[in-house]
Amino acid sequence: MRIVYILTSLGMGGAERQVLALGDRFAQRGHAVALLVLRPRLDEEWPTQIGVFRLDMRKTPLSVLRAILRGRRFLREFRPDIVHSHGFHGNMMARLFHFVGASPAPIATIHNVYEGGSARMLAYRLTDRLSRLTTAVSAAAAERFVRMKAVPAHKCIVLSNGIDTTEFAPDPDRGARMRSELAVNDAFVWLAAGRIVPAKDFPNLLRAFAQVKSEFNSVRLWIAGDGPISEVARVRALASELSLGCCVQILGLRRDLPALLDASDGFALGSAWEGMPLAVGEAMAAEKVVVSTDVGGTRELVGEAGLLVPARDANALAQAMLRVMRMSREERRALGRAARLRIVQSFSIDAKAAEWEALYLSISGNVLNQPMS
């Protein structure tokens, strides 16, 4: 098959990481894969060996028109069997390309329960006829978009994210080196990872951590992620206000998340809303106990292998974190092993790639020759 993925950027987000993981596997499988990226190159992007065609689109009418013309030309030359778009802007552009006859009707993927307000939901509804199918990374996301009438139920299915269980296999030696590098001895370390943006609600996590710190002095919180300068400043200011400056480290953008997970004792997510948080699945694959807000598809991912609390409830989040810290080491290890087993059995990237391949083949009319290895 010839497959084109359309996405806004290759920025360091979970959706982009998931697209590249799938694209890599299909390229290895022998399919022709290309990435059609709307925005210009960013300072920090996920690396990839897949061919990238950039539309360099900016927020001006002339730039948008040029991007449409360049994208149409590229698609007509590449002649894809499958166009798979991601996120609101990618989904809208893919539908536009189909409308002008440049490509087949796309598969659109929704990565979050919230992709914007009523105007965007109306845009989805009005352009749905230009899309072959809409997939959502969680049942929660699918249910909301159907309820908002952005997507008809008969054209929406759930196909969840996949986790690279090999990359995130636990490695105690790697963890010990990371703890030494970050100057942590016997402290209990909570790790949080993700973009510092309102959806992740780091203030909720900081308020919960302040309660934890009041009961356990030897505890640390690592935050791996970056974001808009104003949001990062807001988080730093709140940490200072809560007198947490000595035990909260904002590590910035990190490309060594497996090592950070190995070095941590637990993983915490305080999000206000989510789709299907990859970082939670990666923490589970690394055998870490997860404490998370019960948002989006998190419950679908965690099941009984972690602790879930209501969103925007710092007290409930703190109590769950304290519960984990009061467990014996063996209890935490047992829960961590159960978490990894759940990911291996139900959410591995290779299993998800096989599901995507079967879907692509059924849509393109090709015949599946052999199972995904």
* pTM recorded for the entire structure: 0.91
Do 198 and 148 have their domain in common? no
The answer on 360 and 317 residing in a single domain is no
In a domain, 369, yes or no: no
* Average pLDDT of the chain to the nearest whole number: 95
Domain that residue 200 falls in: 172-346
- At residue 364, the pLDDT reads 86
Whether residue 370 is contained in a domain is answered as no
> Does residue 371 form part of some domain?
no
Instruction: Give residue 92's pLDDT.
Output: 97
373 lies in some domain:
no
The tokens for 67 are: 């991007």
Check residue 185 and give its pLDDT: 87
pLDDT class for 373, splitting at 50, 70, 90?
Answer: very low
Task: Decide if pLDDT at 294 tops 80.
Answer: yes
Place 250 in a pLDDT band, splitting at 50, 70 and 90.
very high
Domain holding 248: CATH number? 3.40.50.2000
Asked which of 152-156, 205-209, 328-332, 366-370 is least confident by mean pLDDT, the reply is 366-370
The reply to whether 129 and 193 lie within a common domain is no
**For the chain, percent of residues with pLDDT exceeding 90:** 94
Shared domain for 189 and 300, answered yes or no, is: yes
Q: What is the pLDDT of residues 17-73, one digit of tens each?
A: 999 999 999 999 999 999 999 999 998 899 999 999 999 999 899 999 999 999 999
For 300-315, write each residue's pLDDT tens digit.
999 999 999 999 999 9
* 299 & 353 share domain: no
Number of domains in the chain: 2
Q: Is residue 372 part of a domain?
A: no
Residue with the larger pLDDT of the pair 58 and 366:
58
Task: Using CB atoms within 10 Å of the CB of residue 255, give its burial: 0 to 12 exposed, 13 to 18 middle, 19+ buried.
Answer: exposed
